[in-house]
Amino acid sequence: MALQILASRPDPAIYTLPWSRALEDWPDDVVVPLTRGLSRHVVRIVRVRNHVYAVKETQADIARREYNMLRELQRLGLPTVVAKSVVTGRKDHDGNDLNAALMTEHLTYSLPYRALFERGLAADRLPSLIDALVVLLVRLHLAGFYWGDVSLSNVLFVRDANGFAAYLVDAETGELKPELSDRLREYDLDVAYQNIYGELLDLQASDSLPEAFPIDAIVERLQTRYDALWRELTEEQVFSAEEMWHIEQRIERLHDLGFDVEELDITTSEDGDTVALRPRVVELGHHRRELRALTGLDVQDAQARRILNDISAYRATRELGDQPIEVAAGRWLREIYEPIVAMRPPGAAAKLTPAQMFHEILEHRWVLSQFAGEWVKLINAAESYYEDVIQHRPDEAVTPPAED
């Protein structure tokens, strides 16, 4: 059987990879020395020209199924890696069959949880990883996706202001259904509990977590946060017909969580005295979409919320309250954001996204102001951050975008 490559928007350079060799034997001039999550399969991160991919060896039917599943999840707007191609019909130089391979695009600035700890992530930041995983899991469940193998190892994390955003990496065991039953949701949570407990024990064994770290409390946080977010996004709320303000209040709470309400199910009792309200369609990205509409910036949602707050502060201090918000946002982009980003020293583009750096500069300014006893100018805070902070951070982009 001849080599076959099923690809979405194929990169011709993919054909040049050493498909006639087992993945574990691929040479160093192809493989990127990047920390990977634990996997039951052989996985390698490879560079093809200026692009970086993850390649996983598996059975042909499994590779095709996962390829199609990832593409469907992406079509639904869910946070997953992008399926690039499936390679089948592989044989070595002696004519022996080799496993098929699934290729996915490497998510720029993303890291597996183990790499984050290798780069100095403090143990007290672990709850932020759990919170990001919870948001991902809830979004997948709302879309009817049963994961079947929830774990930190099957996720990539991207910095998002003071927290993280999580992206699904492995959909091999997943199933997409019209609606997910409570039993399947509970099973996913049980699997997550067991897998994450083992992963945290592994971190302890490698001295990435202190011996006395409260693993039980962290894993229980998964269930607690999941239940709270699921209730807020799906639970029916009943109130008096005279208290219709509850509708706007519920929408505002969801906005605060970063979710937009696409559809509400509102029903009244037969006597008209009570109203039942249940969100039907919610989608994460409220702040992200708002910022993109105002400035064209496409960032993570918590980053967008922080930037929107800075735009509001800029609008107030410049006395632009009588101007449309679009005018103030445009001025802020030209006068504040773009000049600060342009100050980045050489090599900084490999460290963090511009939006994350801007967020950290705002945090850095607050710290400097506390020490100085007066408000430090943003440009001075940026100079200090670029000189004293970002230069010492490890790279988080395997192939960073070109410097501005």
82 domain residue, yes or no: yes
31 domain residue, yes or no: yes
The pLDDT score that the predictor gives to residue 401 is: 53
306 domain residue, yes or no: yes
The pLDDT score that the predictor gives to residue 2 is: 78
State which residues form the domain around 256: 237-284
Helix axes 301-317, 354-372, angle to 10 degrees: 50
Q: What is the DSSP letter of 103?
A: E
Give dist(CA 34, CA 111) in Å, integer.
9
75 and 126, same domain (yes or no): no
Per-residue pLDDT of 39-73, as tens digits, reads: 678 889 898 887 889 999 999 999 999 999 999 99
Give dist(CA 389, CA 368) in Å, integer.
13
The pLDDT score that the predictor gives to residue 39 is: 66
The pLDDT score that the predictor gives to residue 194 is: 94
34 and 89, same domain (yes or no): yes
Query: Hey, how many other C-beta atoms are within 10 angstroms of the C-beta on 174?
Result: 22
125 and 205, same domain (yes or no): yes
397 domain residue, yes or no: no
398 domain residue, yes or no: no
121 and 228, same domain (yes or no): yes
The pLDDT score that the predictor gives to residue 1 is: 59
Per-residue pLDDT of 250-299, as tens digits, reads: 888 888 888 888 788 888 887 777 878 788 778 888 999 999 999 999 99
User: Rounded to a whole number, what is the largest CA-CA distance in the chain?
Assistant: 80
The pLDDT score that the predictor gives to residue 13 is: 81
120 and 223, same domain (yes or no): yes
Per-residue pLDDT of 208-236, as tens digits, reads: 899 889 999 999 999 999 999 999 998 88
110 touches 157 (CB < 8 A): yes
Last residue of a domain, one of 65, 87, 106: 106
Q: What is the CATH number of the domain that holds 43?
A: 3.30.200
404 domain residue, yes or no: no
- Separation in Å, CA 69 to CA 136, 145, 177: 16, 10, 12
Share of the chain above pLDDT 90, in %: 62
Q: What is the DSSP letter of 196?
A: H
193 and 255, same domain (yes or no): no
Mean pLDDT, all residues of the chain? 90
Give dist(CA 134, CA 258) in Å, integer.
14
323 and 351, same domain (yes or no): yes
Fill in the amino acid letter for 220.
E
119 and 226, same domain (yes or no): yes
Query: Hey, how many other C-beta atoms are within 10 angstroms of the C-beta on 139?
Result: 22
351 and 315, same domain (yes or no): yes
Last residue of a domain, one of 54, 82, 106: 106
Give dist(CA 19, CA 102) in Å, integer.
12
Q: What is the CATH number of the domain that holds 172?
A: 1.10.510.10
In the predicted structure, residue 38 carries a pLDDT above the cut 70 = no
78 domain residue, yes or no: yes
Q: What's the average model confidence in pLDDT over 153-172? A: 94
50 touches 118 (CB < 8 A): no
Q: Is the whole-model pTM more than 0.75?
A: yes
In the predicted structure, residue 91 carries a pLDDT above the cut 80 = yes
Residue 260 half-sphere exposure, CB side, CA atoms within 13 Å? 10
Strand partners, 85: 7, 103
The pLDDT score that the predictor gives to residue 404 is: 47
Backbone angles phi, psi at 174, to 5 degrees: -80, 155
267 touches 275 (CB < 8 A): yes
The pLDDT score that the predictor gives to residue 288 is: 93
Q: What's the average model confidence in pLDDT over 170-187? A: 94
Q: What's the average model confidence in pLDDT over 70-95? A: 93
The pLDDT score that the predictor gives to residue 300 is: 95
The pLDDT score that the predictor gives to residue 216 is: 92
161 and 249, same domain (yes or no): no
In the predicted structure, residue 105 carries a pLDDT above the cut 80 = yes
The pLDDT score that the predictor gives to residue 133 is: 97
- What total of structural domains would you count in the chain? 4
242 domain residue, yes or no: yes
Return the higher-pLDDT residue of 154 and 14. 154
Q: How confident is the model at residue 36 (pLDDT cuts 50, 70, 90)?
A: low
In the predicted structure, residue 397 carries a pLDDT above the cut 60 = yes
In the predicted structure, residue 37 carries a pLDDT above the cut 80 = no
